[in-house]
Structure 1
């Protein structure tokens, strides 16, 4: 993990390129190496020979495994609110990457952190790293390097996991007749965002928005079982369409009656609002996967519909009528 660019705190140094000089002020700020040692050195797994602090990490890949790599960048006021607690920012930004590893059925191993800061705020860094490492410890993933630079607040994480050869979950394996399954109740991510924007700071949906729970255990359990898998970041309809397109342009029919009614996390929403949140909301970071028709649905998950050969996504309403759905979800641009 290293520093890049001209840091804002270089204003107290006579030469920004020389981090060995003492500032003229009475108290010296931490340089980038001190920041790394103080906030980003953490216990690591057996596969890490050399972690943060050098020009690169030395890692030992698990024998006989394939590596899965993913990366996401989170921008302030685009992917997380500026007034979100730094511990939640750290947790949430890592969760997004762990969810991608889960969608591939990967066992989390290592991650790199690229952190862009408008200024050095040690209280913010302490809380950010605390939240990030709280989730890292739960997942058993090690921070092995990265960089720190100056600019508008942004967090970019590259995560790596491992999977046995031939058992990675992919988007392109769905088949006609497969069950379409969800790893839990969707909609809390978007509802939590809406409530946050309305000034609320507490409640089940807010809690999910602040700290989504990536399903890496479920992803690994689906190895050799699921025919296709994706994590729900953009909404059920949008992400399901990715699976259908990758699997040869298939379609799907969803069952409105299969949607959980009045789940606690969506309390207070009308039936129409709940349906919209569950089908179109993003930021859930639950797994959406397809299973062969004879395969039992894992505990805690539910079947929402079936893959078919007719392109497009349709919804069978509770009265039996079937209508086409417009695919909508989170847009990055």
Structure 2
């Protein structure tokens, strides 16, 4: 079986290392940055406190060069898919299964004509220099229709085949809106928590309201969403409320706090590189849903409009926590 991973960033790297290869199986990758190498060097590292909890060894990954493909995994940002549309048209003749792990809300049109399924990958992983650094292990949730193709073909990653994959996709979409909130501040999630100490965590109340707006939106639209196996919006809300109330964290909560993602999310990376973001497919998708029911969606709308303006101008000024408190307190 030949696998193709579209995007070999943190998520794609983790996935490439979790495929259980049989004889003659090969993994190929399409990357936004070409290298003169035919074989990609995959580097993995593990943050200090998890060395005994995660054991992942890289598989060999080849640069894709029009080989026949059986299964395609989409792990890249949606705005990269435009750049590989010609390659996609060539792949289509092999009639592969396409599995979108970036929740795919709003850009399903990219996969027209393909046998497309959806899934969610949860892993605290980010790039540090050239290495992909792994944090807390989450899991891989796939449409149950994929079980006949991928049962026993995933290792090192808890795997669930779900009957209602959209319930997890909406939950992951909700989680991904965190990228927008953090991006307009220029912070990682862990950095936001650390910076909030200076404000006696008063900034948490704004972040909680931001997350709870989406909770209300999904409830009003009768959209079912299932809790994610590692970092979940509800878990994050609960953690912040406990810190605000100055309640003592239990061991699990302390580990969660310590393992909050330290890397810059994809939206923030795009802003810093003066590239277009994919936030119209994340925050914008939910803002459009809010408009359909005349829901104010106040803080989410502010974040979305700020990133939307950046995508038009490629000019951006991060706001301070002081400024955020002035606007929303």
Q: TM-score, normalised by structure 2?
A: 0.27
Mark the structure with the bigger radius of gyration.
1
Q: Which has the higher strand share?
A: 1
Q: Which has the higher helix share?
A: 2
